[in-house]
A and B are shown apart, each in its own frame.
Chain A
Amino acid sequence: MATEEISETKASSSLLATLREKFALRAMWEQLTWTWKPETKREAGDAIVRNFVLHWFPAKVSLESLSWGYSFWLGTISAVLFLILTITGGILMFLYVPSVERAYLSVKDLEFSTSYGWFLRGLHRISAHLMVAVVFLHMVRVFLTGAFKNGRKAVGQNRPLNWIVGVALLLITLLLSFTGYLLPWDQLAYWAITVGTNIASSAPVFGDPTRFILLGGTTIEQATLIRFYVLHCFLLPLTTFALVSYHMWRVRKDGGLACTEKRYEEAKKQEQPAIASKTYSLLGITGGSAVDVQNVMIDDENEKVPSSPYLTVRLAVVTLATTIVSIILTLLVRAPLEEAANPAVTPNPAKAPWYFLWLQELVTITTFTVGGITINGALIGGIILPGVLVAAAVLWPYFDKSPVSSIGKWLPTERKWQNRVFLIIVAAILILTFIGTYMRGPFWEIYMPWQEWEQAPRRF
């Protein structure tokens, strides 16, 4: 019995072997999966540079760039969220109808009858909210580590420019979310956009024209919906894609993450000063030494690891983790869909999207009455203050005179005051957002989280 079995397996293995030989299975498989196979380490390195996907990364990366605790991978997470949004959004485009008559119904269909419609919409919504939060946190991280500062004098390094690109990306992320907010065409959407665009209209001179251009008229109607739709599905994502690509490319051009600067600083200390003697540059026509001589040369081969697999695996982990968290949140939080948009009925309270609620709070705070005259806070709270904040953010790198040694470190003592001011602003924004989201009830009165709101009236 046992011998029979053995002989059978022998027969089948020899059959496989003959098949292999006859049809050159392995060669066929290799031909299908590899166009070329590296023979040496050098060739393997070249392979990464030549690969369309892998050439995004340098052949080798430093260990501190890969650390979880320095960057928290927030930029990568933002990019992954953008990818999730692009995929889910692309599918949603087949299912959503951007017309005033059908938009709400098509979202109801998504919720109740389209296969996995609830999941697609929920995931798209959650990822969008997460993206706003993560992009903001990414900015906070970059500020607190002084990563917008130029370090060693490397050719073409311009971290302040990349910081400005980042600020632009944050604003575009907000706009992307804001334009998406209108699309379900329910009460929540309609009145959030009403509040948002009304704040925009309080800007001097440009206010009303801005609102008119945004809405495609004076009221939120079909013209607004199609404008927001095209912005949301085409123009803004395209701009985001272009800017993110530039943002990433700049990170490479700026010499990698700012945390690698420390190593150059340390190396510089140990380095013997360059000998200002004979050089062979330019046939001795000019004085001084060649560019390379002044550059700090560090032998970082020991502290660097190949991008593949070290970076690619972490990237995969981050991508999967982000997707998992988004999906779990999608399953836990049901995407709201209120009554169909009704211009005649203002919900009480009418709130802007949550990431603009700190602005709405600022508008409330800066609206006050002096001697019977009410000063509308929309200009101060809604335009001037946020305008100043954005301008300050853009210009900050050019006024930051802290030493190079503070670059790429969390909360360095050299930048103590800067970081304190920044953190106070961040805390203020977060507190105002919290108050606006959780503590403003009917008639914009303050309600403690444990206080119940007045019962919303119903028809029956």
Chain B
Amino acid sequence: MFSKDAIKLYVMGISLLALTAFVFFRENTTDWRDYQAEFRDLVTEKFGSERAEQVPSGIQQIWVKDLDRVDRCVTCHQAIEWKGLETAPNPYRTHPKEILEKHPLTAYGCTSCHGGQGFSTTLPDAHGNVEHWEEPVLGQEVSEAYLIKNSKALMEMNCNSCHRYDRETKGMDYINTAKNLVEQKDCRACHTINGRGGIIGPDLTYEGDKPTEQFDYGRLTGRHAVFAWQVAHFQNPKMVSPDSIMPNFGLSSQDAQALALLVMSWKKEPIPASYISGVQLRDVPTPEEIAKEKEMLEGDGAFFVQNKCFVCHSVSSLGVNSAAKIGPDLSDAVVDVQNRFGRTLDDFLMDPTGTMSVVLATQIPLTTEQRQQAIALLKVAYQRKLEQQIKNTSPSPTPAGK
């Protein structure tokens, strides 16, 4: 009995060892390793072995914290930012440069525009045409399935996540067409979109979030997909939902596809405001503040407003009022400078000391001519101030007094 068991034990032990070796083998023979090796060969061939040694190995990823995305696409697509591989076969092709200049990889990753499953390190999972992943790479494969000639058109849906409030965006022809159609056909007559519009039809602001299960595919031939449903619905609303009162606009299939992409892009995605095109992240002056500044710009003290002197100084006799009033009123600078620094205004402004030396050296670089202009204007301001003082103190001509 024992010797039989001992044999079993040896057999089991060896089997477990073999299995462990197999697990090790499987872990270390992933496709991405092959792609990386092939890329290194390509680089060696084109640029020499020295460059090839610089190619990073192991799983690569772009982590975009702001968009909560981890994109491991660059594990295989290693040439994205390389120069000179513009015509290489994928996955070793350089990404078109222009679009990356405005949308750097570190800030956008890959999947926020292209779709696909960024976590993945295997091809079918990464390209996302798999079960349980709803955002496939919007490229050739899906385009061909829908007979769309321009394989980049579908991607515009993702672009519109950030560009949804643009009227027109460069390079987004489908979405631009669709946005035009929304205005032309006046979809807002019936539908609310982004908080504006009618209530006859459903609110479309977040139409892109509607779950796939909530569409009736019963009258749809072909693929049971939201995109297919939307296209069919735009071309003939009553065909897919007989109870619909939406008119048939006689749209071409391309227009219907464009509109389908537009409505599917309307999602409630957690995108930081800084990513959304057209959203201003700054304090805008109120209309009153703008009017006041405009008025000051037209007065005699325009020089002090234009050159931002008024940020700290008022020149009240010339109608310039500083909001902050950090520095003294410059109306009597002619005497004030003399009192404070023991120098004439001309002398001081040409070679200032203290705070003014810092301000004029860094923030308000005035040329010699401009300084002379300032001195002349300040002298006028003082003159003006004296005149105003005389006017105020001289007895008013009151008939009763005489």
Contact = CB atoms under 8 A, between A and B. Distances in A.
A69 to B, nearest CB: 14
Contacts of B23: 116, 119, 327, 331
B172 interface: no
Given A111-B119, A331-B22, A345-B213, A309 B61 contact: no
A119 B21 CA distance: 13
B120 interface: yes
Interface string A99-126: 0000001001101110110010000000
Contacts of B348: none
A331 B26 CA distance: 10
Interface stretch (A254-262, A285-293, A315-323, A382-390): A315-323
Contacts of B1: 63, 66, 305, 310
B264 interface: yes
Contacts of A344: 211
Interface string A291-335: 000000000000001000110011011001101100110010000
A317 B9 contact: yes
A113 B119 contact: yes
B139 to A, nearest CB: 11
Interface in A146-192: 186-187
Contacts of A66: 1
B132 A339 contact: yes
Nearest to A102: B68
B64 to A, nearest CB: 13
Nearest to B119: A108
Q: In which size bucket is the chain A interface? A: 35 or more
Contacts of B225: 457-460
B27 A116 contact: yes
B226 A459 contact: yes
Contacts of B273: none
Contact of B8 (A317, A337, A460): A317
A287 to B, nearest CB: 47
B86 interface: no
Contacts of B316: none
B22 A460 contact: no
Contact of B224 (A321, A342, A457): A457
B161 interface: no
A310 B16 contact: no
Contact of B121 (A113, A116, A186): A113
A316 B9 contact: yes
Interface residues of B, number: 46
B70 interface: yes
A25 to B, nearest CB: 28
Contacts of A456: 131, 224
Contacts of B2: 309-310, 313
Contact of A105 (B12, B70, B264): B70
A459 B9 contact: no
A112 B16 contact: no
B278 interface: no
Contacts of B27: 115-116, 119
Interface in A435-458: 455-458
A348 interface: yes
Contacts of B5: 310, 313-314, 317
Interface string B67-92: 00010100000000000000000000
A328 B19 contact: yes
A316 B212 CA distance: 51
A32 B125 CA distance: 53
Contact of B120 (A112, A323, A345, A347): A112
B303 interface: no
A324 B212 contact: no
Given A317-B9, A338-B132, A455 B224 contact: yes
Most buried by B among A108, A187, A310, A457: A457
Given A112-B72, A457-B217, A459-B212, A327 B19 contact: yes
Given A105-B70, A460-B136, A460-B226, 12 more contacts: A112-B72, A187-B132, A313-B9, A316-B9, A317-B12, A339-B132, A339-B133, A342-B211, A457-B224, A458-B226, A460-B145, A460-B154
Closest 8 CB pairs of A and B: A320-B12, A108-B119, A457-B212, A345-B211, A338-B132, A457-B224, A313-B5, A459-B134
Interface of A: 63, 66, 105, 108-109, 111-113, 115-116, 119, 186-187, 305, 309-310, 313-314, 316-317, 320-321, 323-324, 327-328, 331, 336-339, 342, 344-348, 455-460
6 contacts: A105-B119, A310-B2, A324-B19, A345-B211, A457-B224, A459-B134
